[in-house]
Structure 1
Amino acid sequence: MVTNLDNNTTGGVHPLKFSLWLIIISIVMMFGAFTSAYIVRREEGNWLEFDLPPIFILTTVMIVLSSITMQLAYNAAKKDNLGMIKLMLSFTFIFGVIFLYGQVNAWGNLVSNNIYFGGMDSNPSGSFLYVLTGVHGFHLITGLIYLAIVLIASFKYKVHSKNMVRIQLCTTYWHFLGGLWLYLYFFLLLNH
């Protein structure tokens, strides 16, 4: 039996939405643990102070823009504006890729300033920065993969007002990733 993603026979929360919220909660707990460990370890001393890579400003702008275009795609789907869905999802994907490219450049900036991950010559402050940005980057890659799936579905006319679950899930996860980056960026600015 084939069912539409929007059908919910139980009358409760859609199982995919419930699963996504469980994933989001676990990611929040993980980053809560990371940032708590960061604060505790920083207070122990032997903490190298260095400037955050300047490209973080650009990557922050990119993730905010991508969240805006993702919301515009969602709004277009509710109105069955199929051309706008494709355009805004494409922009979201491009901004996400630019964000990741910027993060890789930030790591290059860190290496050029002799700030490494782990090893005898490294300092825990650099290692924490690599972990925080790297794990977020991993989750953003998973978001880009799902975004690509939704984008392909939009070109097959499978994203519209009567079939919203895909784009709802994608929008929720994408906004979460954007909010998570803003939290990490401001956390690092205040605690670095």
Structure 2
Amino acid sequence: MNELPLSGFRDNALPSEREGRGTAIAGMRIFLTVVTMLFLLLLIAFLARSQGGDWRSLSDPTAPLSRPWLLWINSLLLGLGCLALQWARVAGRHGQRGESLVAFWLGGLCTLGFIFGQLGAWWQFELWGYGVAANPASSFFYLLTGLHGLHLVGGLLVWGLTLRGFSRGRAPARLQLRVELCAIYWHYLLALWLLLFLVLSSPPGVYSVIAALCGLG
């Protein structure tokens, strides 16, 4: 198995490499803060709208999320993708180039499976009569899952650029930084997805309680 030279992030890292890594991590944190605020505002709007009389819960016995088996499979795929990217991250820190590359590939492929699975869930919603404009609840489902998916697609673009860096033999420190940023981003999007899944599949009574506590009722 090919070995990477020692990563520039260890104790013997050059000051410029440490500064570059710190700047990249800080930039990622700022970006994730903005994304968090965006989804927080959308979830507040979701809760407020759920109190309307025309709201049809997605977890009703005849609704798609009464048996969300496909979304559970998708969640598993995204979770496996996160584990694979974490594996790539750790392998890179130990200078294991080949192992890091394999794990990085697996992380991206699992994520592609998640995205196609989400498209399958959209198709399932259409079959159940819960299209985009069918009712406010389904509209929010498409909005929230679609926006989450777009953020993953953006991450996959960086994933692809990182793979190209592997094939071109880019500087190990730069590649390791990209792998670490991808892992952080994927972990965040997994946590965000689990929150969205929980909210979207909750019964109407939960929305009423939360809305009342937040003064949205």
Asked whether the two chains share a fold, i.e. TM above 0.5, the reply is yes
- Aligned partners of 1:87 and 1:73: how far apart in 2? 8
Q: In the alignment, which residue of structure 1 is the partner of 2:78?
A: 63
Q: Is the 8 A contact 2:108 2:159 kept in 1?
A: yes
Distance 1:156 1:113 in 2: 47
Counting only pairs closer than 5 Å after superposition, residues 1-192 of structure 1 correspond to structure 2 as: 9=16, 14-49=22-57, 50-52=63-65, 53-118=68-133, 122-158=134-170, 160=172, 164-191=176-203
d(CA) in 1 for partners of 2:83, 2:74: 14
Q: Which amino acid in 2 is paired with 1:166?
A: R
Mapped partners of 1:39, 1:162: distance in 2: 42
* CA RMSD after TM alignment: 2.4
Q: For residues 167 and 174 of structure 1, do their structure 2 counterparts lie closer, same or farther at Cα, with a shift above 3 Å needed?
A: same
Determine the C-alpha separation between the residues in 1 that align with 2:43 and 2:121.
19
In 2, Cα distance between the equivalents of 1:127 and 1:11? 44
CA contact (8 A) 1:78 1:160 kept: no
Q: Which amino acid aligns with 1:31?
A: F
Task: Report if aligned partners of 1:77, 1:161 keep a CA contact under 8 Å in 2.
Answer: no
TM-score, with structure 1 as normaliser: 0.87
Contact 1:82 1:157 in 2 (8 A): no
Please tell me whether Structure 1 or Structure 2 has the larger radius of gyration of its CA atoms: 2
Separation (CA, whole Å) in 2 of partners of 1:27 and 1:7: 32
Contiguous gaps of at least 5 residues in structure 1: none
Q: Which amino acid aligns with 2:159?
A: L
Cα distance in 2 for residues equivalent to 1:114 and 1:87? 41
Deviations 1:10-51 (A, max 9, x none): 959733222221110111111111111111111122111223
The 1:41–1:75 alpha-carbon spacing in structure 2 relative to 1, beyond 3 Å, is same
Q: TM-score, normalised by structure 2?
A: 0.78
Alpha carbons 2:46, 2:140 under 8 Å: kept: yes
SS in 2 for 1:67: helix
**Pairwise CA distance, 1:191:** 4.6
Which AA in structure 2 matches 1:79?
Answer: H
Provide the identity percentage.
25
